[in-house]
Structure 1
Amino acid sequence: MGKVAFVFSGQGAQYSGMGKSLYEHSAAAKNVFDTAESIRPGTKNQCFSGTLEEISITKNTQPCLFCVDLAAAEALREAGITPDVTAGFSLGEVAAVTFAGIFTTEEGFSLVTKRGEAMQAAAEQADSAMAAVLKLPNEKVEELCRMHQSVFPVNYNCPGQLVVAGLKTTLPDFLSDVAANGGRAVPLNVSGGFHSPFMESASARLHDVLETMDVKEPTVPVYANYTAEPYTKETAKELLTQQVAHPVRWQQTVEKMIEAGVDTFVEVGAGKTLCGLIKKTSRAVKVYNVEDAETLSAAVQAIRAEGENA
């Protein structure tokens, strides 16, 4: 058995009831939610019984998904499964750096709450949206973006899938060009054009927040969205500041993890979107997801069995 990576889910994976099973079955997961609740009352209720509409509002989505991400990872750690490396997709990166000890749970949750508020405010300043472009090479999608005003490549997900952000007034023409070139586009369930220049004001607000925070050395490597390279204590604030207004280099991150010896990926948090992206990047690796008591038990058993048979 090679190395194990924990990868933390991002925005768009949210659903009503997420995290409730983890809360009920894991003391470590319960502690994450209770800590969050003490800082932002109502968070548990939004996760466990909030409507999809409510938890899809960015300022709610981010703290809620952070809790589910971190709770799943802590439940795994409680069961004796620990990663060799980590990464998080977009807001999942805040959960990843918190799990790695760069911030305490309280600090990480406070940061992601402010991040969600800042990105919500930036989204309200520009009527923007995101769409995943499928079946076209990245170079072609980048070329089409350059042909359309205010459309940007933002999430390099996996081979044949690149997410773009753009103004709602300009995206339809761009998507028509995608179809004309043999591609397909899927609108995403997010409330703004994240990881693009539309988020510069959020990046500036996050910079100010991070300047007041204490940063610690990571206890496990965390690969950054912005660079696809591991964090250091010295780079943490800059990486988190730049991340919100620049592309997520997810495919490159996964490839670098595999080069470093990772052959088992565990997606922690809501859904299993990252599992799909990872399998499209490499068929040679094993992927698991942990989002509730059932998937937690299955992943723990499978990873233990791999270790015994290695």
Structure 2
Amino acid sequence: MMNKPVIFMFSGQGSQYYQMGKELYENNAQFRYWMDHCNEIVSPLIQTSLVDVLYGKEGKSKPFDRLLYSNPALLCIEYCQVKVLKELGIQPDFLLGYSLGELTASVISGSVSLEDGIQLVVDIAKLAEQRTQSAAMLAIMESKAIMAKSPDLFEQCWCTGTNFQENFVVCGLPHVIQNLQGCLNNINIISQVLPVKYGFHTELIDPIEEEFKQVVKKIKFSSASVPIISASRNEVIKELKEDYLWEVIRFPVNFEQTVDKILEKGDYVFIDSGPSGTLATFVKYMLPSNSGSVSFQMINQFGRDLNAIEKLKTSLLENVI
């Protein structure tokens, strides 16, 4: 067993890419079994094979930004990675989700069934694509204080996520984000457009609120077998309520504040069960130099999945009693 509580982390939109988890799918029987199971649930809902979409001809460098496919892909990839972790004997004490990752956490916790979770993320995608206008998101490598210092730059933008001290995300209409990135380039501030084409965590998705809540009413909630740490509410949740799921996609994410609050309570093992390792990186930037907490990723788009899993196993052995 671990000598520190284990937190599984789940990233949201923006962390996805084509071919994510492919090497695991081809070489890890547990991952493949559950991915095929998820695919059977998803495929009738999206009118195509999710596995074919993920592992077809598109390379990692092409933006994977069709919400109808990327939403269920993220949930399924994260769900299957947890199955791999559990096969390795690694169990979570807490689940921490970022945006859509909170919906993954609700499934992993047992609060929402896999079938309902997949149906929900597909419904969110369909509603967003049909009822909301296009938007764009930009990750900015700078303190969020720049928004107050340069209000004209950010006049038509919303902050949708605070990741760590010098990393936050804004959303706006596509031409606004394009102009903002140009201005940031001119003052040597690094930014990156994320593969997200809708205005989650802003008023741009308000047109889907009523229909979304009607969808959620069909879900049968159960008690969470593993507590969820909500990055939207910045608190531990054991019983899911209907409004919580709307808050997850509507209001900004404060990942930095959530992790800081966790770290005040002691030392933890953070394991990023998302596809890109971004949350593990965020946590590393936040850990004090004298911290006993550690942060690991499972896979990312730059390395080999199997090597990444082996590295994770080796690293975790150092944190076993």
Instruction: State the alpha-carbon separation in 1 of the partners of residues 148 and 204 from structure 2.
Output: 17
Question: Structure 1 pair 143/218, CA: closer, same or farther in 2 (3 Å)?
Answer: farther
- 2:119 is equivalent to residue 110 of structure 1: yes
Counterpart residue number, 1:33: 35
Stretches of structure 2 lacking an aligned partner (at least 5 in a row): 44-48, 300-304
> Offset of 1:167 from its aligned partner?
1.4
Counterpart residue number, 1:131: 138
- 2:46 is equivalent to residue 44 of structure 1: no
- Equivalence map 1:143-182=2 (5 Å): 144=150, 148-172=154-178, 174-175=180-181
Q: Secondary structure at the residue paired with 2:161?
A: strand
Stretches of structure 1 lacking an aligned partner (at least 5 in a row): none
Counterpart residue number, 1:295: 308
Question: Structure 1 pair 204/280, CA: closer, same or farther in 2 (3 Å)?
Answer: farther
Which of residues 280, 283, 291 is equivalent to 1:278?
283
248-257 or 156-165, which deviates more: 248-257
> Offset of 1:165 from its aligned partner?
0.5
Question: Structure 1 pair 229/117, CA: closer, same or farther in 2 (3 Å)?
Answer: same
* Cα deviations by residue, 1:94-135 (Å, 9 ceiling, x for unpaired): 11111111112222222222222223334xx32321112222
After TM superposition, the score normalised by the length of structure 1 is 0.87
Q: Secondary structure at the residue paired with 2:95?
A: strand
Instruction: State the alpha-carbon separation in 1 of the partners of residues 298 and 231 from structure 2.
Output: 21
> Offset of 1:277 from its aligned partner?
1.1
Instruction: State the alpha-carbon separation in 2 of the partners of residues 258 and 236 from structure 1.
Output: 26
Query: Does the aligned pair in 1 maintain the 2:11–2:279 contact within 8 Å?
Result: yes
Q: Which has the higher helix share?
A: 1
After TM superposition, the score normalised by the length of structure 2 is 0.85
* Cα deviations by residue, 1:214-256 (Å, 9 ceiling, x for unpaired): 01111111111321112232x4421211221210111112112
**AA paired with 1:163?**
V
- Equivalence map 1:88-237=2 (5 Å): 88-122=97-131, 125-136=132-143, 138-142=144-148, 144=150, 148-172=154-178, 174-175=180-181, 183-233=189-239, 235-237=240-242
**AA paired with 2:306?**
A
**AA paired with 2:10?**
F
- Equivalence map 1:49-64=2 (5 Å): 49=56, 51=58, 53=62, 55-64=64-73
Give the count of matched residue pairs.
304
Instruction: State the alpha-carbon separation in 2 of the partners of residues 2 and 232 from structure 1.
Output: 21
Instruction: State the alpha-carbon separation in 2 of the partners of residues 215 and 183 from structure 1.
Output: 44
CA RMSD of aligned residues (A): 2.5
